[in-house]
Amino acid sequence: MALTPEAVLKEIRAKKIKPLYFIYGDEPYYIDLLAEELEKRVVSESEKGFNQFVIYGKDTDITGVLGYARRYPFMAERQLILVKEAHKLSGFDQKENQKRLEEYALNPLASTVLVFCFHDKADERKTFIKAMNQHGAVVQSKRLYDNKLPEWVTNFCHSHGVKISPKAIQMLVDNIGNDLKRLVSEIQKMLINLKAGEGIDATLIEQYVGISKEYNVFEFQKALANRDVLKANRIANYFASNPKDNPLAPMVIILYNFFSKVLMTHVAPDRSEQGLASLLGVNPFFVKDYTHAARNYPVYALAAIIHTLRQTDARLKGVEGGATTEGELLKDLVFRIIHP
Q: What is the pLDDT of residues 110-127, one digit of tens each?
A: 999 999 999 999 999 999
Alpha-carbon span 283 to 278, nearest angstrom: 8
Whether 320 has a pLDDT exceeding 80, the answer reads: no
Q: What is the DSSP letter of 53?
A: E
From the list 72, 110, 85, 109, the residue with the least C-alpha distance to 28 is: 85
The pLDDT confidence band at residue 281, using thresholds 50, 70 and 90, is: confident
Whether 321 has a pLDDT exceeding 70, the answer reads: no
| Residue 197 or residue 112, greater confidence | 112
- Asked if 290 contacts 265 with a C-beta cutoff of 8 angstroms, the reply is yes
Look up the CATH number of domain 5-141. Answer: 3.40.50.300
Q: Alpha-carbon torsion 269, 167, 148, 227, what sign?
A: positive
Alpha-carbon span 227 to 231, nearest angstrom: 9
The H-assigned helical ranges of the chain are 5-13, 28-41, 48-51, 62-69, 95-106, 127-135, 149-159, 166-176, 180-193, 202-208, 217-225, 229-241, 248-267, 273-280, 287-296, 299-316, 326-338
Whether 86 has a pLDDT exceeding 80, the answer reads: yes
Whether 90 has a pLDDT exceeding 80, the answer reads: yes
Average pLDDT over residues 234-251: 90
Whether 20 has a pLDDT exceeding 90, the answer reads: yes
Q: Is 41 exposed, middle or buried (0-12, 13-18, 19+ CB in 10 A)?
A: middle
The pLDDT confidence band at residue 322, using thresholds 50, 70 and 90, is: low
- Asked if 297 contacts 340 with a C-beta cutoff of 8 angstroms, the reply is yes
Q: Strand, coil or helix: what is 304? A: helix
Torsion of CA 274, 277, 283, 286, to 10 degrees: -100
Non-local CB neighbours of 112 within 8 Å, separated by 6+ positions: 19, 69, 70, 71, 73, 78, 79, 80, 81
- pLDDT tens readout for residues 182-193: 999 999 999 998
Tell the CATH topology of 146-208: Helicase, Ruva Protein; domain 3 (1.10.8)
Angle, helices 149-159 vs 180-193, to 10°: value is: 40
Instruction: Give the residue extent of every domain in the chain.
Output: 5-141, 146-208, 217-338
- Kindly state the percentage of the chain with pLDDT values over 70: 99
Q: Quick one: pLDDT at residue 107? A: 94
- Asked if 78 contacts 111 with a C-beta cutoff of 8 angstroms, the reply is yes
Q: What is the DSSP letter of 3?
A: B
Whether 37 has a pLDDT exceeding 80, the answer reads: yes
Alpha-carbon span 78 to 275, nearest angstrom: 53
Alpha-carbon span 134 to 107, nearest angstrom: 10
Least confident piece of the model among 28-42, 92-106, 150-164, 306-320: 306-320
Look up the CATH number of domain 217-338. Answer: 1.20.272.10
- Kindly state the percentage of the chain with pLDDT values over 90: 77
Q: Quick one: pLDDT at residue 323? A: 57
- pLDDT tens readout for residues 135-172: 999 999 999 988 889 999 999 999 999 999 998 998 89
pTM of the model: 0.80
Return the bridge partners of 22, or none. 116, 138
Q: Tell me the pLDDT of the chain averaged across its residues.
A: 92
Whether 2 has a pLDDT exceeding 90, the answer reads: no
- CA triple 257-184-122, angle to 5 deg: 75
Q: Quick one: pLDDT at residue 83? A: 97
Average pLDDT over residues 21-34: 96
In this chain, the answer to whether the domains covering 5-141 and 217-338 adopt an identical fold is no
